[in-house]
Structure 1
Amino acid sequence: MQNSVFDKNIVGERLKILREREEITQKQLAQLLCITQQTYSRYETAKAILPLHHLYALTQYYNVSSDYILGNISHPQAPPQLSERFIQHITIGDFVCLISSFSRKSKRHLIDYVNYLSYQEQLVKKDIQ
């Protein structure tokens, strides 16, 4: 397990980002959690620690992982299961293991190529619309 320090500031920032993304007020969220708006505000401003039961409720409400709210990962959605099929007979875990054996240069080339393919996909989507 990594040595990490719990950072209320990150939690507060993430809560605010999620709330603003959903265009919901602190008061509305507080009502969902059965707390006062002032208490919820203290979570966002890092003046109070978010209790576990509220963390769970917020992950369910926003459909994000608790690791995102806690600042352990940078993307709000949970990663796919490693046992899921990536393509044909290769799982995501198999693919990750394969990539991890690449040289640093090959990994960089792979990232560049994936970014290129992503760009091409976006162009195709724009043409369809």
Structure 2
Amino acid sequence: MAKYMLIMRATDETWANMSKVSFDEMLETMGRFNEELIKAGVLLAAEGLDDASQGVVVDFSGETPVVTDGPYGETKELFGGFYLLDVASKEEAVEWAKKLPAFPGSKCEIRRVPTIDEFPQDNEWIIKERAWRERTGQL
């Protein structure tokens, strides 16, 4: 099994289409999909994000970090939420992504999440992280 993150990307078209649906209807639709993932035993986490205008950006382009309010980049570059799945393959992650109840204009980026076992096990920071993961029940 491998972890894959499904990153939900929205465009102006997506937001316009979302505004036509009641919040309760949206929760119902997403809830049914989430329940399907849970029943299949593949859902590890799923979260939506607050409106990008409520966020901040920390820019490391200069000598010192600069913090600015609001979204960074164009609307099409922002993501609005994610699913973290534990599936057998990238192909299975793609099949789940194709079932997402997404609005027209949405895109879903799929990225594998490497495991701690893929890093040099004799590295002191990996050893410390592994110990932390064991203490917190993540391994």
TM-score by length of 1: 0.25
Question: Which has a greater percent of strand?
Answer: 2
Which structure has the larger Rg? 1
Report which structure shows greater RCO (CA 8 Å, sep ≥6): 2
